[in-house]
Amino acid sequence: MSQLVPPHGARELKPLLLEGKQREEERSKAQHLKKVPLTSRETSDLIMMGIGAFTPLEGFMGGDDWRSVCDDMSLKSQPGVFWPIPITLSAEQELADSIRLGEEVALWDAETDTLMGTMKVVEKYSIDKEHECKQVFRTTDPAHPGVQKVLAQGPVNLAGPVKVLSESYYPEAFAGIYQRPAEARRIFQERGWSTVAALQLRNPMHNSHAYLAWIAIEVCDGVYIHQLIGKLKPGDIPAEVRVRAVDALVNKYFRKDRVVQGGYPMEMRYAGPREALLHAVFRQNYGCSHLIVGRDHAGVGNYYGPFDAQRIFNEIPPDALVLRPLCMDWTFYCYQCGSMASMKTCPHESTAVIDENGQYRGGARLLLSGTLLRKLLTEGKPVPKEFSKPEVIAILKDYYDSLQEPVEARRHGDATAPTGAGP
Whether the model pTM is above 0.85: yes
| Structure confidence at residue 1 as a pLDDT band (50, 70, 90) | low
What is the DSSP code (8-state) at residue 66? H
**DSSP secondary structure letters along 151-185:** HTS-SEEEEEEEEE---TTHHHHTTTTB--HHHHH
**Rounded Cα distance, 237 and 240, in Å:** 9
DSSP 89-122: EEE-HHHHHHPPTT-EEEEEETTTTEEEEEEE--
CATH 2.40.10.220 fits 20-168, yes or no: no
How far is the C-alpha of 290 from the C-alpha of 168, rounded, in Å?
29
Q: Answer whether residue 412 shows pLDDT above 50.
A: no
Grade residue 416 by pLDDT with cuts at 50, 70 and 90. Answer: very low
CA-angle at 225, arms to 246 and 237, nearest 5°: 45
Structure confidence at residue 404 (pLDDT): 58
pLDDT of residue 78: 97
Band (382; pLDDT cuts 50, 70, 90) = confident
- Residue 333 clears pLDDT 90, i.e. is over it: yes
- What residue ranges do the domains of the chain occupy? 20-168, 170-423
pLDDT reported for residue 392: 92
DSSP classification of residue 257: G
The CATH class that applies to domain 170-423 reads: alpha beta
Residue 401 has pLDDT above 90, yes or no: no
Rounded average pLDDT over 356-367: 89
Cα gap 301→413, rounded to integer Å: 6
Among 75-79, 111-115, 408-412, which stretch is predicted with the lowest mean pLDDT?
408-412
What is the C-alpha to C-alpha distance for residues 315 and 325, in angstroms, rounded to an integer?
13
Nearby residues of 32 by Cβ (< 8 Å), 6 or more positions away = none
284-298 pLDDT, tens digit per residue, is: 999 999 999 998 999
Which residues are the active-site residues?
A: 202-203
pLDDT tier for residue 423 given thresholds of 50, 70 and 90: low
Residue 378's pLDDT is 83
Q: What percent of the chain has pLDDT over 90?
A: 82
List, for residues 68-105, the tens digit of each pLDDT value: 999 999 999 999 999 999 999 999 999 999 999 999 99
Q: How many C-beta atoms surround the C-beta of residue 142 within 10 A?
A: 12
Average pLDDT, the chain: 92
